[in-house]
Amino acid sequence: MKTKKISIGIIVSVVVLMLAMPVSAVAEEYMIGLSLAITGPTSDAGNPYAKGVEDYFRYANDMKLLGKDTIKYEIRDDKYETAITKRNFEEYLDMGMVFYLNYSTGSTLALKRDFEEVKMPTLPASYHAGNIEDSDYVFLPIASYSAQAIGLAEYLVANHDGKTPKVAMYVHPSAFGRGPVEDVKATVKAGLDMEIVEVVEHGKDLDVTGMLQRWKSKGVQYVISQTVQSPVATLLKGASRMDLVAGSFGEKGKITFMGAHYTGGNDLIALAGKAAENFYWTTSFITTSEESYAADTQIALAERYNRDDKTANSHNYAAGIIVAEVATEVIQRAKARGEEVNKKTLYQELLAMNGMNAFYSGTAVGPVTYSKDDHQGVDTLQLYAVQNGEFRAVGKPFIPEYTDKIK
């Protein structure tokens, strides 16, 4: 009998929990869904990202940027598991979602065909170039990892003093890491004057001294990394112990370390400490360490919703803000045209976002541009270098040339 009572109790509590859903408001509500890893692998990036998205949508609703209408946003944790992302996606579809925000490389690739079939415009947090291959509906918010790596390669070739520079690549052992390697190799084939000495896929190495010695003996001068911050921090700490970190760009006899979007940010400085000095980082986002109006806005938004300092200054927070901004912007544009807001019209708005209609977001260094052939939003990249424990901008924003040449 106890089992019967328990099972009835469970059924009752289940029903109660399911009924605890909010009632929809009278004015229009546009549903936007986000499924990401708030716990689980890469949650150190996912957590601030979720906060960025949430804060911007709350801001849009509070400031009534859509007039009477509001954005009903739904943020779920999928623990980086594709099965759960798929489930969340299906549920959002049933809830009448008009725009989708995704996160991990694995799930974006897995659901790519679903996006095609239901014609749902999607902005993932993974800038893997494979996401937009064979896909009309996936739009990368900023330049892909490949474009970033190519941008770094072009910069080092342009600023290298001497003969053909020798470059090693340090990548994550997954599709996320390997993506840019092929494209950088293609760039070298297409004429970029650079030699790729080695491509190393790191593991959970605790000590990279052997690898660094090998690189030193092979004459490696630059390292382009595409991975997350923790392995780069280990690399930098090892290199600084061996006194291998270049003091200035391209310093002879030393190695200049460079990395793409997810390698950098304040977390890297927190993890690597002094060893991060003169690490060159590229991304399309602003950093709050450089004084700018945009940086102030980002921090103000975080303060408005009581976020801690770490989140406020995180580049993942900025990344979250931009996708929310783009989503809000397309809804605004569709409404301004007097059209019904659904995934079809929003998709059209995305495709039209170029030329005069490019969208200037505060958090990025360049405009968000999309078209039928261009599914990378902010094509512009900015190079940063760590100086005195903070990222400082180096040069002006640039667009890599070779990304078009290797298509």
Partner 1 sequence: MSYFLQLVFSGIVVGSIYALAAIGFVLIYKSSRVLNLAHGQIIATGAYITYVLTVWMGVPIYISFVMSMIVTFFLAMSVERIFLRRLIGEPIISVIMVTIGLMSIIDGLIYLTPFGSENFSFPPFLPREPIILWGTYLSYTQVTGVVITFILIGAFSWFFKKSTVGISMRAVSDDQMASMSIGISVPKVFGLAWATAGLTAAAAGGILGNITGLNFDTLHAFGILVFPVVILGGLDSLLGAVVAGILMGLIQQFAGGYLDGNWGLNGTGQVLPYILLLVLLLFKPHGLFGTYEIERV
Partner 2 sequence: MSANRWLATGNYFTTYREEQRIFFTHIDRLLFAAFLTALFAWPFFFQASSKYMLIFDNILVAVIAVLGLNLVTGFGGLISVGHAAFVGVGAYTVACLAQIIGDQHVLITHAWPLMIVAGGLTGAVFGLIVGLPALRLRHLYLLMATLSFQMIFQWVVGFMDFFNQGQFIYVGRVYWFTGEVGRSVHYNFWYYALLITVVILGFGVRNLLRTRYGRSLVAVRDNDRAADAMGMHPGFTKVSAFGLAGFFAGVAGAMQAYLNRGAGFETFTLHESIQYLAMTIVGGLGSLPGTFFGPAAIKMLDLQMENLAEWAGHLLPSSLDLATGLRPLSFGLVIVLFLMFEPRGIANWWRILRSYVKLWPFRY
CA 246, chain centre distance (Å): 27
| CA separation for the pair 393, 64 (Å, rounded) | 34
Beta bridge partners of 223: 168, 257
Per CB under 8 A, 389 contacts partner 1: no
Taking CB under 8 A as the rule, does residue 83 contact partner 2? Answer: yes
Q: Residues 160 to 199: which contact partner 2 by CB under 8 A? A: 173-175, 178
CA-derived radius of gyration, the chain: 22
Considering beta carbons, is residue 283 or 403 the nearer one to partner 1? 283
* Cα–Cα dist 144/149, whole Å: 9
Q: Does 390 bind partner 1 (CB under 8 A)?
A: no
Q: What is residue 290's DSSP assignment? A: S
Residue 229 CB neighbour total at 10 angstroms: 24
Residues 274-303 that bind partner 1 (CB under 8 A): 274
Min separation Cβ 103 and partner 1, Å: 13
44 lines the binding site for partner 2 (CB under 8 A): no
Q: Give the DSSP per-residue string, 319-344.
A: HHHHHHHHHHHHHHHHHHTT---SHH
Which lies closer to partner 1 via its Cβ, residue 13 or residue 213?
A: 213
Binding status of residue 406 toward partner 1 by CB under 8 A:
no
Question: Quick check: helix, strand or coil at residue 139?
Answer: coil
Q: CA-to-CA distance for 12 and 389, rounded, in angstroms?
A: 56
196: part of which helix (H) or strand (E)? strand 195-201
Residue 84 β-bridge partners: none
Which of 234, 284, 287, 313 touches partner 1 (CB under 8 A)? 234
Residue 394 near partner 2 by CB under 8 A: no
Contact between 338 and partner 1 per CB under 8 A = no
Indicate which of partner 1, partner 2, none lies near residue 130 (CB less than 5 to 8 Å, by partner kind). partner 2
Q: Binding of partner 2 at residue 343 (CB under 8 A)?
A: no
Judged by beta carbon, residue 274 or residue 405, the one nearer partner 1 is 274
Residue 229, phi then psi, degrees to nearest 5? -70, -40
Report which residue type is found at 213: Q
> Is 258 within 8 Å of 280 (Cβ atoms)?
yes
What residue ranges bind partner 2 (CB under 8 A)?
Answer: 3-4, 14, 17-18, 20, 22, 38-39, 47, 50, 54, 58, 75-77, 79-83, 86-87, 90-91, 93-94, 106, 109-110, 112-114, 117-118, 130, 173-175, 178, 305-306
What residue ranges bind partner 1 (CB under 8 A)?
Answer: 38-39, 41-44, 46-47, 173, 198-207, 209-211, 213-214, 217, 229-230, 233-234, 237-238, 240-243, 267, 270-274, 310
